[in-house]
């Protein structure tokens, strides 16, 4: 989930930020029987999210 805030807005905790959502994606990574990894990288004005679910 991505939320943009210039410091003038208050995060909406009641809706967990969903009313302020800019973009997002869904990855099922909780409670797996194997380890998962994620890496968030911001480089040269580009945001990249790498995800490995632990399975071969």
pLDDT at 56 over 70: no
pLDDT at 54 over 80: no
Q: What pLDDT was estimated at residue 46?
A: 93
Q: Which domain holds residue 16?
A: 2-52
Number of structural domains the chain divides into: 1
pTM of the model: 0.48
Residues 7 and 27: their CA atoms lie apart, in Å, by 29
2 in Cβ contact with 20 (< 8 Å)? no
SS3 (DSSP) at 40: strand
Q: What pLDDT was estimated at residue 43?
A: 95
Summarised one tens digit per residue, pLDDT across range 5-52 is 888 988 888 888 788 888 777 777 778 888 888 899 999 999 898 888
Residues 35 and 55: their CA atoms lie apart, in Å, by 8
Element (H, E) at 52: strand 46-52
Q: What is the DSSP letter of 14?
A: T
């Amino acid at each position: 989930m991505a939320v943009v805030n210039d410091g003038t807005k208050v995060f909406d905790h009641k809706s967990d930020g969903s009313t302020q959502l800019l973009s997002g994606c869904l990855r099922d990574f909780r409670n797996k029987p194997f380890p998962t990894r994620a890496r968030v990288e911001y480089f040269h004005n580009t945001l990249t999210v790498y995800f490995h679910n632990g399975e071969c």
